[in-house]
Amino acid sequence: MAICGFEGNGDMYGLGIRLGYYLQWYGAIFAAWFAPTESRSLRFTNALFIAASFLALVIITARDMESLQPVEVYIILLLMFGAYLALIPIYLWRLLTKCDPYWDPTRYPLVIPGAVFANLHLLLLVGVLVYQYWFWFNRVSSLDHVNCQQYGFFFAQIRLNNKGFVAVNILVFFFLGLVCLYIIWLKIRRAAGLPSPRAKRRRHLIAHIELLGNIDVWVKIVVALTVTVATELVIDWNGIEGVNSLSSAGQTIPFLIGLGSVLRIFYVYWFPHDGNDDSDGDSYYSTEYMQPYRRPRPVDELPLPAAAPPMRPPPRTHRRSY
């Protein structure tokens, strides 16, 4: 059966928007190594990208559900939700280690997100999850009544309405829903003054923390690369046209924002004292990093997909001017 080739909606997932997402994903990961003071601003900008895309998607769906093809919604959800997929290996690892903080690589991030941001990010994740449930239970089934095919990605080209593919996605997002409920339950326990499970302190060696942190960041990089490849392949497999140009302001603006964010990381790294003295960034950078027993992240905080790995930054050769 032929593919459902069509003109895509560049305003939702055009080349500039996709590049903006990709640049911010990788920039947020590497910022903690090279420019910790930039991590929070990158996280905030990425959250705004997700929130804006999600709001636009909800509005389009409410006005005219048929104006977006199911595969277009699938691509938009990949862009919005792709980084969150890193939570799956993180929480599977936590289950395998019985939630032992000694083996949890996300408990000692180099740059700790603020509590307000973490809570708002959790609400955004829950909102996108609810839309994911509606999409896989209701929207994808509309492809059963058309005479062409649309394809998704599961390490190979697969029909979007394939029953097994739909079931796998439902199970993945059901698992993430349980993760969100678990985090909310922990927050309620803490608000009620009850002790968090497994909250006792244990001694963590720096080398042990860095080892797990390296594993954690490579998992995030692999997930980000997989989602990037999946998004571009899905566009190609489905013959979607008109979404690979930077010729409009709607594409150049998000692209330049993402590119500027990444360039800013390397600028701050190479010129750390040019208007960005280390002493000004203590609120972002964990000054306890060189200490053997750093303060851990609370267990009821969502480990952000682009969270910084607890890796010692590369040594700098710049001489401080007095």
Instruction: Write down the pTM of the prediction.
Output: 0.77
> Residue 291: what pLDDT?
36
Its sign, for the CA torsion 29, 46, 156, 134, is positive
> Residue 217: what pLDDT?
72
> Residue 107: what pLDDT?
67
Helix (H) or strand (E) holding 225: helix 206-237
| Distant-in-sequence, close-in-space partners of 89: CB < 8 Å, separation ≥ 6 | 219, 223
- Among residues 142, 125, 17, which one has the least CA distance to residue 69? 142
Per this entry, what is the length of the chain?
Answer: 322
Helix (H) or strand (E) holding 211: helix 206-237
3-state secondary structure labels for all residues of 66-131: HHCCHHHHHHHHHHHHHHHHHHHHHHHHHHHCCCCHHHCCCCCCCCCCCHHHHHHHHHHHHHHHHH
Amino acid present at 321: S
d(CA 81, CA 5): 24
> Residue 293: what pLDDT?
37
> Residue 114: what pLDDT?
63
d(CA 83, CA 80): 8
> Residue 25: what pLDDT?
83
| Distant-in-sequence, close-in-space partners of 284: CB < 8 Å, separation ≥ 6 | 36, 37, 39, 40, 111
- Among residues 229, 172, 305, which one has the least CA distance to residue 18? 229
| Distant-in-sequence, close-in-space partners of 102: CB < 8 Å, separation ≥ 6 | 202, 204, 208
> Residue 214: what pLDDT?
67
Amino acid present at 233: L
Spell out the per-residue pLDDT of the chain, length 322, in tens. Answer: 678 778 888 888 989 999 988 988 888 877 767 777 777 777 777 888 888 889 999 999 998 888 888 999 999 999 888 877 877 887 888 788 777 777 776 666 655 666 666 777 788 888 889 999 999 998 888 888 888 888 999 888 899 888 999 999 999 899 888 888 888 887 887 777 776 655 444 445 666 666 666 676 777 788 889 889 999 999 999 988 888 888 888 888 889 988 888 888 888 888 776 545 444 433 333 333 333 334 455 555 555 444 434 444 445 444 444 4
> What DSSP character marks residue 299?
T
- Among residues 244, 276, 303, 254, which one has the least CA distance to residue 110? 303
Amino acid present at 56: A
- Among residues 67, 83, 65, which one has the least CA distance to residue 21? 83
> Residue 321: what pLDDT?
44
| Distant-in-sequence, close-in-space partners of 246: CB < 8 Å, separation ≥ 6 | 15, 16, 252, 255
d(CA 13, CA 124): 19
User: Coil, strand or helix: which one is 241?
Assistant: strand
- In our burial notation (b when 16+ CB lie closer than 10 A, e otherwise), range 306-322 reads bbbbbbeeeeeeeeeee
> Residue 295: what pLDDT?
46
> Residue 43: what pLDDT?
78
| Distant-in-sequence, close-in-space partners of 46: CB < 8 Å, separation ≥ 6 | 21, 24, 25, 28, 83, 306
